[in-house]
Structure 1
Amino acid sequence: MFSFVKPLLRGGAWLGLALGLLAPGASQAVPSFARQTGQDCVACHIGGFGPQLTPFGIRFKLGGYTEGNGSSSVPLSGMAVASFTRTAKAQDEAPADGYKTNNNAALDEASVFLAGKIFGEVGTFTQVTYDGVGKTTAIDQADLRFAHAMTLGGKDLTLGVSVNNNPGVQDPFNSMPVWSFPYTSTALGFSGAETGTLVNGGLEQHVLGASAYAFYDNQWYAELGSYRSLSPRTQSQMGLGREDDPGHLPGSAYWRLAWFNDRKRDNWSVGLFGLSAGLQPDRTSSASNRYQDVGVDGQYQFLGNREHIFTLQGSYVRERQHRDQLLAAGEATHLTGQLHELKLNASYHFNQTWGATLGHFRTSGDADAALYAGMAGGKPDTSGHTLQLDWTPWGKEDSWAAPWANLRLGAQYTAYSRYNGARRNYDGAGRNASDNNTLFLFAWTSF
């Protein structure tokens, strides 16, 4: 681990850093990015909303969120998502306290962002979220950066350091699994596989890591870093439930390589990434489980004159598991196993306003009767498709209240061909995968 960031990996120091970032006079944001740069939201985001980044957005993130037009701006933004969820068949029990087994309306979340330039070459994207379903408030995604631009051999070179709380959240291309479609989803229905790889949100918010990165000749990207777990006490202080503690992570290795080609009318990238970690779910025991995740990802964007925009994205992850602790605790029947995740999506946006996205997801793994208890055949296999239609009336230069307001209204439908190991009767009680098909109507605004 890089010596100058070691102190930040201590739980108390991270808590102080997070609270300090939330104090008045701090940094950057979401529409606050637009206010800082003087650009409209569609300059950075496909369709003016969500994590799909244009080349300008990629370079803005690589540059540490610090690029601006010289004018002062308030680095604070807010976001809220409200929704209605209906499943094809009512669930066996209510998905959360205070809700019904079907047909639920909710304020899903409300967030405050500190996002933008703090000072000099230091910037941040920090999010604090109120969970309207779980009725809790916690530190959400956090990425604090230092970035320095220079030249090497007559070519542009950006060197940077990221301190963040989720492996992959700092990725400049936003094409890794942690940023995958759908970009907002229901907490009251079904929104994908129940089982996921470690690099796909398995450590989200419960760790702190630091990585160094380089972007050379506007094409080559490389990053290397490590993560350590936050103590249960620190997690509790940050609003994270102790019951969600993944365990003790004494150390890990995270790496990322990518190649980017911006041809103005279109652009594309392809990359490799990996996370290797030993995790001790029982903090009182020395036994641990070992995870080795290796993935490939890529994306293609056709921007043209920004009237018709097409985007293709995909990622695949293979996870190798060595389950010493799980086997010793009787929570697995096999010492080793694998988990595979595939995510693909294609989207079209007209005039940065009307959008349609079709996504495919598939998770599969080796059978294990104990680890995947309650799943058909002891397998986590889940697959399906998600279709989303959306309308984004604000976020362009001539939009109402630009650049202070943004809005997306959407309809999302997720259809399952397999769930928890089977197409039919996956739970042994007669429930089919298609019974989990979910309609999700949402209103997503930021300001």
Structure 2
Amino acid sequence: MKKSAQIFASEKTKSTQATAVALVIGTLGLGVWTESQAVPAFARQTGMACNSCHFQGSYPALNQFGRSFKAAGYTQSGAQELVEDDNLSLPAVLNASLITKFRYQKTNGDNARLIESGATIEGKEGAYATNVGELQLPDEAALFLGGRVSENIGFLTELSLHGTEGSNFLSFKMPFNFKAGEDTDLLVVPFITDALGAGFGLELLNTGALRSQRVGEDRKSLMAQQYLGLGYGAAEGITFAAVKESGFLNVTFWSPDWSNFSPEGLATYVRGALTPQLGDWDSGLGFQYYFGKSKNDTGGNIIEEKDIKGWSIDGQLQGEFLGKPLGAYAAYGSVPSNSHFNASANRKTAWSIHGQYGVIPNKATIILGYRHADTGADTDNAVTIGGTYNFAQNVQLQLNHVLRSGSKYDTPQDAGDQQTTLMLFSGF
């Protein structure tokens, strides 16, 4: 036990050091950062500010204009010079963005208890590290290339700069846009992604239907779909979509794998939403529905079949309350037992509601959220309290504190029942 005590004491020292470093980072940021002149790839192409597409400066949550830009397949251009000829229209430069996330994360699990119980550090790296406070530098680092390919074709690709094992090619999609009258966009979007799920083909709401499109960092604590596994994971396929100002509908044929696949072995994802303007409020009310079976050849003519089942309903309101911007988001979802999204023997359900209020419009916000889940074996609840501060439109500091409760926590969890995340996000 003497060795275990030494390990724990060492971890406490590291915790103090990590906390101090995190506070220094935050303090330096508040005192040093100035308005950045660098903006991400799509801003370069359009010649428009980041806030033109993103609701109250919360990248990557979209506002009404951002939905229109995405529905047009990233093809809208602005002041940027184009190379044009017969059947040719593309930017004179290849637009790129560097996206980084530096995080400090602290959980309140009891490492002494884990050591006393005989757990090995090798088997508990994640909990051991965050229980004493962990600097994740970087948590994410990626190069995004994207924009106009021609008058009606765009693209977006993500390349990892993090030095992870395996392929650095993380995501790619190429929307083909066909106008059907003045107010309807028809899209065909082939895609592949390592982590963003079937919704990567096209998603326009900020409710949690797509992993990357959200206002808060701790997605599983804020959003029901993310807790249930809907809206993230490896996926490849093709999306067919119709988009109007009043709503959108997609049908996606996809496989939850990162490999070659046969069109005969694809599951189906249907996503629809109404997006009416309710007075001064930009609203959305939608559903997700996953069904079918995917089949993949895993090698040696062995066919792996996955049962794809799950659904959710969701809604959002974005506008002003007491003269300041407010975004409110809610969702309810369910996944059956023994399926791709849920390997357990019990059906899982979850609902969530969260909001972001701009106390200093386009500069500082507060975030509040509640998520309830029932796994069939226990309950798992999360309350999120946090906020954001934008040093620039493309440089944001975010702080979240999550308090978890429910019968799951009647027995001690490795990472405890609280988590604090301090994150510096930048895109330029």
Whether 1:148 aligns to 2:175 is no
Of the candidates 254, 261, 266, which is equivalent to residue 281 of structure 2?
266
* 1:422 paired residue number: 408
Residue correspondence of structure 1 range 253-332 to structure 2 within 5 A: 253-262=268-277, 265-278=280-293, 283=298, 288-303=305-320, 308-322=324-338
1:95 paired with 2:81, answer no
Query: 1:383: Cα distance to partner?
Result: 1.4
Between the aligned partners of 2:225 and 2:416, the Cα distance in structure 1 is 15
Distance 1:423 1:164 in 2: 39
Name the counterpart of 1:177. Answer: 209
Counterpart of 2:399? 411
Q: Map 1:200-279; keep pairs closer than 5 Å.
A: 200-201=231-232, 204-205=233-234, 207-216=235-244, 218-230=245-257, 250-262=265-277, 265-278=280-293
Matched to 2:416, the amino acid is D
Within the alignment, does 1:34 sit opposite 2:32 as a pair? no
* Structure 1 residue 48 displacement after superposition: 2.0
CA contact (8 A) 1:314 1:343 kept: yes
Structure 1 stretch displaced more, 118-127 or 256-265: 256-265
Deviation at 1:161, TM superposition (A): 1.2
CA apart distance, 1:211: 1.3
More divergent stretch after superposition (223-232 vs 39-48) = 223-232
Distance 2:71 2:125 in 1: 39
Equivalent of 1:125 in 137, 148, 156? 156
Per residue, is there more helix in 1 or in 2? Answer: 2
Per-residue deviation at 1:432?
Answer: 5.2
1:109 to 140, 146, 157: 140
1:200: how far off?
3.0
Change (3 A) 1:380 1:120: farther
How far residue 289 of structure 1 moved from its aligned partner, in angstroms, is 4.8
Any idea what SS the aligned residue of 1:200 has?
Answer: coil
Please say if residues 347 and 357 of structure 1, whose CA atoms lie closer than 8 Å, have aligned partners that are also in contact: yes
Partners of 2:127 and 2:414 lie apart in 1 by: 24
> Could you tell me whether the CA contact under 8 Å between 1:291 and 1:321 is conserved in 2?
no
Query: Counterparts of 2:96 and 2:152 in 1: how far apart (Å)?
Result: 18
* Distance (Å, rounded) in 1 between the aligned partners of 2:226 and 2:44: 39
Q: What is the total number of aligned residue pairs between the two structures? A: 358
Q: Secondary structure at the match of 1:346?
A: strand
Give the corresponding residue for 2:421. Answer: 440
Change (3 A) 1:191 1:61: closer
Shift of 1:249: 9.8
The answer for the alignment partner of 1:381 in structure 2 is 379
TM-score by length of 2: 0.73
Seen in structure 2, the aligned counterparts of structure 1 residues 181 and 380 have a Cα distance that, compared at 3 Å, is farther
**CA pair 193-175 structure 1, distance change in 2 beyond 3 A:** closer
CA distance in 1, matches of 2:337, 2:297: 17
How far apart in 1 are the matches of 2:173 and 2:275?
Answer: 22
Moved more, 257-266 or 93-102: 93-102
Unmatched segments (≥5 aa) in structure 1: 1-28, 236-247, 367-378, 396-405, 426-430
CA distance in 2, matches of 1:298, 1:135: 37
| Structure 1 counterpart SS, 2:231 | helix
1:401 aligned residue: none
Which residue of 2 is the match for residue 342 of structure 1?
Answer: 351
Give 1:302's aligned amino acid: G
Report SS of the residue matched to 1:161.
strand
For 1:95-132, what per-residue CA distance to the aligned partner results, in whole angstroms no more than 9, with x for missing partners?
35995752111211111001211222111222122447
Deviations 1:172-213 (A, max 9, x none): 2243433465643499xx999999545332xx23x3111111
Task: Specify the SS of the correspondent of 1:255.
Answer: strand
Match of 1:82 in 2: 102
Query: Percent identity of the aligned residues?
Result: 17
Contact 1:290 1:321 in 2 (8 A): no
1:257, distance to aligned residue in structure 2 (A) = 1.6
Unaligned runs of 5+ in 2: 1-37, 82-92, 115-120
Matched residues in 2 for 1:279 and 1:122: separation?
28
Name the CA distance, whole Å, in 2 between partners of 1:186 and 1:287.
29
Give 3-state SS (helix, strand or coil) of 1:215's partner.
strand
The normalised TM-score by structure 1 is 0.70
| 1:186-197 equivalence runs, <5 A | 196-197=227-228
Contact 1:340 1:365 in 2 (8 A): yes
TM-fit CA distance, 1:365: 2.5
Show the counterpart of 2:185.
158
CA distance 1:46–1:287, shift in 2 (3 Å): closer
Matched residues in 2 for 1:358 and 1:186: separation?
A: 13
Per-residue CA deviations over 1:59-100 (Å, capped at 9, x if unaligned) read: 111110111215235411011111111112345445359957
- In the TM superposition, what is the alpha-carbon distance from 1:38 to its structure 2 partner? 1.6
Alignment partner of 1:61: what SS?
helix
